[in-house]
Amino acid sequence: MQRAPHSDVPVCVLGLGLIGGSILRALHRAGRPAYGWNRSAAAADDASAAGFDASSDLAATLRRADAGHIVVIAVPVPALDPVLAAIAEHAPNAWLTDAVSVKGDVARRVADAGLTERYAGGHPMAGTAFSGWEATDAALFDGATWVVTADDATPARAWRLAASVGLDCGAVVVPAGSTEHDAAVARISHSVHVVAEAVAITAELDPAAKQLALTLAANSFRDVTRVAGTAPSLVNAMCEANRDALLDALDDTIAELISARTELADSGTVRDITERGYAGRKAYENARRTPFVPVLDGAGWQRTLREAGHAGGVVTALPGS
Amino acid sequence: MQRAPHSDVPVCVLGLGLIGGSILRALHRAGRPAYGWNRSAAAADDASAAGFDASSDLAATLRRADAGHIVVIAVPVPALDPVLAAIAEHAPNAWLTDAVSVKGDVARRVADAGLTERYAGGHPMAGTAFSGWEATDAALFDGATWVVTADDATPARAWRLAASVGLDCGAVVVPAGSTEHDAAVARISHSVHVVAEAVAITAELDPAAKQLALTLAANSFRDVTRVAGTAPSLVNAMCEANRDALLDALDDTIAELISARTELADSGTVRDITERGYAGRKAYENARRTPFVPVLDGAGWQRTLREAGHAGGVVTALPGS
């Protein structure tokens, strides 16, 4: 027997690519009222033909959402500003979240559009190498983490509704500050992509060994360079939007490699980096997520939520409304 | 119906850990006469109990191999020199190969033991996270590449017998010079391990985001840092034995990352590294192996073999003897 959705407030999904389309499918699976919009009529038609409530008329879709619905922005970064302007015009009474990977950048754009008091940022930590409506999957977020930002200005109602979307998509919700989120993803995703690119390039930089390297490359090379196969435009968009945090992360990685290089040159060993790297990997493997029930009122509730998320806390259900 | 083995010369495997034990199992599967030695009697007993011909008496095992058998050295690097001394004493008429990951270092030790004219180096490109006889698997090398070194001093008979071992284990054989092999593996394995350690460390270097980073880490971090979970002593042994080639590879990776960092700081984009990294990954995915029949006599046959291996050639069968 299916459990009830975590909210009955309808969800308006803007953008029906891999992430937005999968959100629409997952919400439908959960019995949550949801509808979508896509700029290209072809994807909207495909979604409609698959039995979903989808349109390519943005103004009409947003007027519908203006009745206090929660809007999920899942469009590419270059389309963010025009979509936010349309929301401010046609749906000032909607609540607002998003599914974009850098939160400080989106929060600034939301503030520029005058929508901060309707907004809690979101970031589902899931994806595949594929894109577009044809790649969508109702199970894409099952068991994944889904960040909902709790900054000092975040409204409780927006946080609750954004979290309900993540939960109804099958994810567990992690509260975090926007800045802290961006620092973390710079280190576990954006710089990781850049490093994988450097490894893929290094394999071919010695002309005397290039072809042999490609012939001999086995599991370690295959796994480490897998994300270098991501479309460069996608990696660029993530990295460029998170420039400052990514610079910090790259500086740390470069310093570690220079330190290892120096140890190897001076004393013939890489003992320091292998021992600390092993400990780092084990800390990741042993990291525990601890469910907790969020309190969404009282002074400083946002800080309390951030601290809980920072300590490994995850939200798997919302308090009774 | 099973095909005949690629040679009927018996194989003597020294060291029955993951690699040596799996070689013994794979040769047995192929119908090739083979027997093994292990320093600890426990592993030798386990192998015997499993139906294999195994002993913990090194001198007796080597006297048996002295009848022109091929010896495969699969012991840890610290045990190489005493094992080579024992071979020079008890089995000067045996042929010799090995399964150690750095070839220049082993070739020097073999020369020091006076065994160069009996030796062709070997390196099966396979492994798992596990070790010891209990982890051995007859299918470990199926479809893998197995380097057999063809240096100017390599004797044809040793090359043929070393290659026959790789083929009978289910691998395809790639001829390469020792120096070229070590340069290639520095770039597709040793530096890749060091970079993975640096990524695993970087995730935890920002105290304000450390726990959150571990909670949010998803597929890209998991895949890139997987090899950081390898026992530090194993990574150290590989890296230390390949110091010079690894320093070159690390220098290239560091230069790429500094270049990307500079582009990001100066112009807000990482376009250059993402485009070249993507191309590098695609070159790896599209690399083709072309079977060819090696010619093992005539002036400069070793160079011809090296060039064929460098151009993507692999050996899947030996010419009739």
Nearest to A201 among B219, B276, B289 (CB): B276
Name residues 266-295 of chain B within 8 A of A (Cβ).
268-271, 273-278, 280-285, 287, 289
Determine, for residues A277 and B211 on separate chains, whether the beta-carbon distance falls below 8 Å: no
- At residue A2, the pLDDT reads 65
Name the residue with tokens 């001076």.
A266
- List pLDDT tens digits, range B85-143: 999 999 999 999 999 989 999 999 999 999 999 999 999 998 766 678 999 999 999 99
Name residues 179-238 of chain A within 8 A of B (Cβ).
180-181, 183-185, 187-189, 191-206, 208-209, 211-232, 235-236
Distance from CA of B103 to the nearest CA of A (A): 14
- List pLDDT tens digits, range B128-140: 666 789 999 999 9
- At residue B208, the pLDDT reads 85
Distance from CA of B89 to the nearest CA of A (A): 31
Tell me the ipTM for this assembly. Answer: 0.89
Determine, for residues B188 and A282 on separate chains, whether the beta-carbon distance falls below 8 Å: no
Distance from CA of B312 to the nearest CA of A (A): 6
The average pLDDT across B223-250 equals 94
- At residue A129, the pLDDT reads 62
The token duo for A266 is: 């001076």
CB A19 within 8 A of CB A76: no
Q: Which whole-number Å values give the CA distances from B287 to A65, A225, B108, B147, B306, in the listed order?
A: 51, 15, 32, 17, 18
Which pLDDT band, with edges at 50, 70 and 90, does B209 fall under?
confident
User: In whole angstroms, what is the distance from residue B174 CA to residue B195 CA?
Assistant: 26
Distance from CA of B157 to the nearest CA of A (A): 24
User: In whole angstroms, what is the distance from residue A281 CA to residue B221 CA?
Assistant: 10
Nearest to A216 among B125, B202, B215 (CB): B125
Query: Cβ contacts (< 8 Å) between A310 and chain B: which residues?
Result: 211-212
Q: What are the helix (H) ranges across chain B?
A: 18-29, 41-49, 58-65, 80-90, 103-112, 156-168, 178-185, 191-202, 210-216, 219-225, 232-241, 243-267, 271-286, 301-310
pTM score above 0.80: yes
Q: Within a 10 A sphere around the Cβ of B130, how many other Cβ atoms? A: 11
User: In whole angstroms, what is the distance from residue A167 CA to residue A187 CA?
Assistant: 25
- At residue A219, the pLDDT reads 87
Query: Cβ contacts (< 8 Å) between B219 and chain A: which residues?
Result: 127
Distance from CA of A59 to the nearest CA of B (A): 33
Determine, for residues B197 and A147 on separate chains, whether the beta-carbon distance falls below 8 Å: no
Going by C-alpha positions, the residue among A110, A113, A112 that lies closest to residue A162 is A110
- List pLDDT tens digits, range B251-284: 999 999 999 999 999 999 999 999 999 999 999 9
DSSP codes, B97-144 = EE--S-HHHHHHHHHHTT-GGGB--EEE----S--SGGG--TTTTTT-
Kindly give, in sequence order, each residue whose CB lies less than 8 Å from that of residue A39, ignoring residues fewer than 6 positions away. Answer: A15, A56, A58, A75, A79
Q: What are phi and psi of A4, to 5 degrees?
A: -70, 150
Determine, for residues B194 and A273 on separate chains, whether the beta-carbon distance falls below 8 Å: yes
Determine, for residues A221 and B188 on separate chains, whether the beta-carbon distance falls below 8 Å: yes
Distance from CA of A129 to the nearest CA of B (A): 11
Determine, for residues B223 and A224 on separate chains, whether the beta-carbon distance falls below 8 Å: yes
Task: Number of A to B CB contacts under 8 A, please give it.
Answer: 362
Determine, for residues B198 and A256 on separate chains, whether the beta-carbon distance falls below 8 Å: yes
The token duo for A169 is: 């998509």
Nearest to A200 among B251, B280, B287 (CB): B280
The mean pLDDT value of chain B amounts to 95
CB B9 within 8 A of CB B161: yes
Determine, for residues B240 and A269 on separate chains, whether the beta-carbon distance falls below 8 Å: yes
Most A-contacting residue of B216, B256, B290 (CB-CB within 10 A), to test interface: B216
Distance from CA of B93 to the nearest CA of A (A): 32
Query: Cβ contacts (< 8 Å) between A278 and chain B: which residues?
Result: 197, 200, 228-232
Query: Cβ contacts (< 8 Å) between B213 and chain A: which residues?
Result: 183-185, 187-188
In Å, how far from its chain's centre is CA B290? 20
Determine, for residues A216 and B276 on separate chains, whether the beta-carbon distance falls below 8 Å: no
Distance from CA of A31 to the nearest CA of B (A): 27
Residue of A nearest to B270 (CA): A236
Determine, for residues B201 and A231 on separate chains, whether the beta-carbon distance falls below 8 Å: no
Query: Cβ contacts (< 8 Å) between A284 and chain B: which residues?
Result: 200, 203, 214, 217, 221-222, 225
Name residues 124-153 of chain A within 8 A of B (Cβ).
125-127, 144-145, 147
Sign of the torsion angle spanned by Cα atoms A36, A114, A190, A188: negative
Determine, for residues B220 and A251 on separate chains, whether the beta-carbon distance falls below 8 Å: no
- At residue A1, the pLDDT reads 44
Asked whether the predicted pLDDT for residue B1 surpasses 70, the reply is: no
Running DSSP on this structure, what letter comes out for residue A78?
A: G
Going by C-alpha positions, the residue among A237, A23, A243, A253 that lies closest to residue A141 is A23
- List pLDDT tens digits, range B39-49: 999 999 999 99
Nearest to A202 among B191, B227, B265 (CB): B191
Determine, for residues A195 and B195 on separate chains, whether the beta-carbon distance falls below 8 Å: yes
CB A96 within 8 A of CB A68: no
Mean pLDDT per block of 10 residues along chain A (321 residues) reads 86 96 98 97 96 98 98 93 98 97 95 98 83 92 96 98 98 97 96 97 91 90 94 91 96 98 97 97 93 94 95 92 53
Nearest to B277 among A185, A228, A246 (CB): A228
Q: What are phi and psi of A207, to 5 degrees?
A: -60, -30
- At residue B2, the pLDDT reads 64
CB contact, 8 Å: B244 with chain A?
Answer: no
